[in-house]
Amino acid sequence: MEGILPLWKERGMTSHDCVFKLRKILKTKKIGHTGTLDPDVDGVLPICVGKATKVVEYMMETGKGYIGEITLGYSTTTEDRSGEIVEQVKVERIPTLEAVDAAMKEMEGKITQVPPMYSAVKVNGRKLYEYARAGETVERPVRIADIKSFKRTSDILVDEEQGTVSWKFEVACGKGTYVRTLAVDLGAKMGYPAHMSDLTRILSGTFKASDCLTLAQVAEKMEQQEIEEALFPLEFGLKELASFDIDEVLLDKVKNGSVLPLDTVPKELSMPVVFTYLQKAVSIYAIHPQKKDFLNPSKFYGIIYRGVFTL
């Protein structure tokens, strides 16, 4: 069994929980997910099975899309609704729609983020959430996030009893973006503590919500022996990379892991590049680390889907 399974991760479980359950359902150990979703977040979680696990790293580099809710009025330890309240300030003046839209627009493009303490980012060999759970503090690295669009999608909801205001949003962003932090930073820009009060991932690379199956649906397809129909070829996980179709002569060189001249591929292609033969991915090449005029097979050399060649 091999291919990519777009899973709809339900709330209340970790991404690792999903992998653990799928290993039992699919009766195979070679499974990997393509980007962690917090337990409180549901949505698109592409799962790689069999040889498709060789594209996990590339799929983790792809863009993501989310819908969710931001609440002004209090911040939490985890930057979402599951954490303990850190700061609470009643929202006395309700922001206008124009003010919200303008503040969100200012956060589009390349921005800096400081990862939440409750995150898996490593500092000195330990994950930040390990420091947080131990009650320790540590200097967190500043990261660059690419926010392609950040839009309000609802009117503002006022909760007079709680002293909060909330609104729905949609965001398209690059890899490694912390949407929780985006909500907190937006609140700071508007002068209030804030947190992300809801989140759903609706897009991961080329996979969208309508492509997904729940764990229960996956189990049902296994029982009905229809699971192969639900798997996408691993090429779907490489769609955001440049590709170059090769002939039999070049295929022989690629099979042997040969270093190739840079001009083997058109110069306008970005790196890394997927070499395909008969529309199937056979290898991924990148600029040689020492010889800049040559291409070198990446560590994922030998990516194959159903019978081009076998290593």
- Residues identified as active-site: 38
In our burial notation (b when 16+ CB lie closer than 10 A, e otherwise), range 177-209 reads: bbbbbbbbbbbeebebbbbbbbbbbbbbbbbeb
- Retrieve residue 144's tokens: 């660059």
Retrieve residue 246's tokens. 């090769």
User: CA-CA-CA-CA torsion for 106, 101, 65, 189, nearest 10 degrees?
Assistant: 50
Quote the CA–CA distance of 242 and 230 in Å, as a whole number. 25
Specify the DSSP element, H or E, that contains 248.
helix 248-255
Provide the 10 A C-beta neighbour count for residue 147.
19
Distances (CA, A) of 59 to 78, 117, 204, 213, 240: 26, 25, 8, 18, 9
Helix (H, G, I), strand (E, B), or coil: what is residue 215?
A: helix
Which pairs with CB-CB distance under 8 Å and at least 24 residues apart come from 20-26? Answer: 21/215, 22/47, 22/215, 22/218, 25/215, 25/218, 25/219, 25/222, 26/1, 26/218, 26/222, 26/227
SS3 assignment for 127-191: EHHHHHHCCCCCCCCCEEEEEEEEEECCCCEEECCCCEEEEEEEEEECCCCCHHHHHHHHHHHCC
